[in-house]
Structure 1
Amino acid sequence: MASLRARDLRAALDVVTVLAGAERPEDVASAVAPALTGLLHADGFLYHDSEVVRRGGEVLRWRVASALPTPPFPGHEDLMCEHPLVRRADDVLQRGALRLSDVETASSWRSSRLYGEALRAEGVDDQVTSVLERSGDRWRTVTCYRAGTPFTERERDLLALLRPQLRAGLRRLLPPGRPRPGTGAAPALPAAPAGSELTAREDEVMALLARGCTSGQIGRAVGCSARTVEKHLEHVYAKLRVTNRVEAVQRWSPRGTGGAAAP
């Protein structure tokens, strides 16, 4: 982990502090995930307790037993068998953490069925994953993802550094075999609060997001940087009281169809 410096260790300690202070399963989504995604400059967080059945180097089945924040990518479980990091799960376990960009070129990833049919709309241009523990065919993993620029070696090494604390903390908060918050059918989102109407620019960003555009593509379309797009999305999340792109698209309604939030 030669990429890490003293300031990185202090930043990682902040995540450990949040994890230590978490007391309820719900705190994983409300506190731990934001702390980790903030540290890694990620757009989203996923926790999987999944079954991966393999024969040699071939993945025969990938099935999620439970996940946070919600069951990921419904209807695409068969395609997840083709995911480069699922196929390389042993390497992820051995190395502590791996980036998608460590094992797959950007052009190869973006030409894959998995990206085109499932993950492009989620903004998964790169991922960094850590296998927290394995028991037979069951794998418990944490993944952060983002659109646009790949994760750096420093960000990968930070996740690897935090793996022991994440393993212990998530095992305490989400014991194996206990249903996770968000497992099963995704609950209906509550109505957005009064005064949550989006600005014209935020609505424009959401229209492009709903079409599956990445932050970079949205920025080029509206004439701003990808970072500015992410700031717009932060404001949208706060107004709609959601935590990720999927929930934002689910709740958002275009202008002229009854407001910013879907019922």
Structure 2
Amino acid sequence: MSQLHSRDYERMLDLLVAVLENDDPASSGQLIAEQLRAAFDCNTVIFAELRPVQRTGRAEGWAPESLGASAEEVIRRRVLQNHPLISYMAADLRGPVIVSDICERWRHSQIYSEARRDYGTTQQLGLPLPPAEPGVLRAVSLGRLGDFSAHELAFAERIQPLLVSADRHIREQTRLREALAAADATARPVEDHGLTPRELTVLGLLAEGLTADGIGRRLTISPHTVNRHLEKIYRKLGTNNRVSTVSLARRSGLVV
């Protein structure tokens, strides 16, 4: 494997900090896209959700500005064209991959021609994400003019687990916020007790009855890391156990 540089590790840290310190999950995709564009010097970043059986999908994309509704149309077209990443992920292959490595006639394909025409990209690097539900394939696709190097592929292999963890954090953060909004709690917090977005997510899962092991599996972190978050939550709320913490959080409107 190609040796990573100190700047690569700095970029990984930048990506994690950007996600974990962001209290608006709706903007997290753009933050991640900005970090990936800088790290890989790419033209486009697309978060794709593919449904091959239904021959459709959805996406968010930046190039570098938001692609808006056009990203959805691109993904639907790529599903119909059977983009090489679809077969790759359908075979349960999960490592980062350069698309030309899995498609012999990549430079002669319609997908290549359209990507070059529309975005000026000639190569794509796919980073698969865990499926959110059966039959759905998910990935981050990076596109740029010029090839990705062996070093960049090695960097992608190291950064992929961080993307998986960030993805799960964002999905849980979004779900918990939607549940709180749906509950329309009368006791809204006057202030958040200094809890970080990550701590609020852990607190929300704690309120749902998950153990440290369960929270760790949900967020792809270790139980030890969960317990460190819980220690900080207890300190900030002035509590010392699960029951009193969840009770105070509910009275404050922090959780449902």
Could you tell me the TM-score, scaled by structure 2's length? 0.55
1:112 corresponds to 2:112 = no
Which residue pairs with 1:94 in the alignment?
A: 93
Match of 1:63 in 2: 56
Q: What is the aligned counterpart of 1:167 among 164, 181, 184?
A: 164
Q: Does structure 1 residue 131 correspond to structure 2 residue 128?
A: yes
- How far apart, in 1, do the equivalents of 2:134 and 2:36 lie? 27
Identical pairs, percent: 22
Q: Which residue of 2 aligns with 1:11?
A: 11
**Superposed displacement of residue 95, structure 1:** 4.7
Residue from 115, 122, 143 that aligns with 1:145? 143
Q: Is the 8 A contact 1:16 1:165 kept in 2?
A: yes
Structure 1: gaps spanning 5 or more residues = 54-60, 179-263
- Conserved in 1, the CA contact under 8 Å of 2:99 and 2:123? yes
Q: Distance in 1 between matches of 2:74 and 2:142?
A: 21
Hey, what's the Cα distance between the residues in 2 that align with 1:175 and 1:63?
A: 25
> 1:84·1:103 contact (CA, 8 Å) conserved in 2?
yes
Could you tell me whether the CA contact under 8 Å between 1:76 and 1:118 is conserved in 2?
A: no
| Partner Cα distance (1:95, 1:142) in 2 | 12
* Paired residues for 1:17-56 under 5 Å: 17-53=17-53
> CA contact under 8 A between 1:12 and 1:158: conserved in structure 2?
no
Whether the 8 Å contact between 1:49 and 1:67 is mirrored in structure 2 is no
SS state of the match for residue 13, structure 1? helix
CA distance in 2, matches of 1:75, 1:8: 30
Whichever residue aligns with residue 21 of structure 1, its letter is E
SS in 2 for 1:88: helix
| Superposition TM-score, scaled by structure 1 size | 0.54
User: 1:144 is paired with a residue of what secondary structure?
Assistant: strand
Partner SS for 2:160: helix
Shift of 1:109: 2.1
Larger helix percent: 2
Name the aligned partner's letter for residue 77 of structure 1.
R
Q: For the Cα contact (< 8 Å) 1:101–1:150, is it kept in 2?
A: no
Tell me, yes or no, if the aligned pair for 2:48 and 2:60 is still in contact at 8 Å: yes
* Larger radius of gyration between Structure 1 and Structure 2: 2
Tell me how large the CA RMSD over aligned residues is: 2.9
Letter in 2 for 1:140: R
Q: How many residues align?
A: 167
